[in-house]
Structure 1
């Protein structure tokens, strides 16, 4: 499995910010536009600026950053930097809607693949670096999962991350 490169994501964000002549505050305001009219809490400036220094960043943050960049999560996998396929494109969320992972659908897909391959949960988790059985079980309750961990699951399933991204609003 390829690692999700958080530093490359942050560098791409910074490059695009500079190309558009935006301050970090203006960038944060643009990323947060879809939060207007929703009950979700907007992303803080410190969260966006500090992403590259964290081992894990909540998927809600990363999905909104990817949306602003118009890039797929797969385009930040270590072996594919900058490359993505049309089926990996995130859904168009429109105004006042944000992107979230459907962790229940992800759990169902893991369970389906587990049955198809005749694996126990313990055997499945052994194939997922950094996961425990309880972490996988928690997906069924959702909705939170972080980057880069979520990309381990989508790669194991051999499905684009966008397969599990849903549009949420108001």
Structure 2
């Protein structure tokens, strides 16, 4: 059985978040600076996970920011935790907001608490452990056994097979 990785946000800080409203509201610009540290735990006992590039994007009230951060792909060993830190900043980028969402930004700005969504996107593959004991040699003749026999059960299980999984979504 193969389990998906477990993602947790260890630290996330919105250091700067400013909106320059315009008329019409769709011409508004946004400036922000975000740092986030994410831990990924591989709960599998025998399967490593190979990640493609890990991209982090942000959105405010359903409107996605244009800028994102990415970390190059990496290999995640079985039963280990990998920690990735990313920083995204933008100054004066256009954002498509409706007039009510500009008002919502002002209300959240007054309270000092913003609802910003962080999304992690990646493609990952599970890599099985190779089993050297599944390759047996015929000790009497020093040759490999005939190939007309079916492979052993450990080989049929698909050691080393790659399976794509759905994208990860982490909200805080």
TM range (shorter): under 0.3
Question: Which one has more relative contact order, counting CA pairs under 8 Å at least 6 apart?
Answer: 1
Length-normalised TM-score, structure 1:
0.20
Between Structure 1 and Structure 2, the one with more helix by share is 1
The structure number with the bigger radius of gyration is: 2
Length-normalised TM-score, structure 2:
0.20
Between Structure 1 and Structure 2, the one with more strand by share is 2
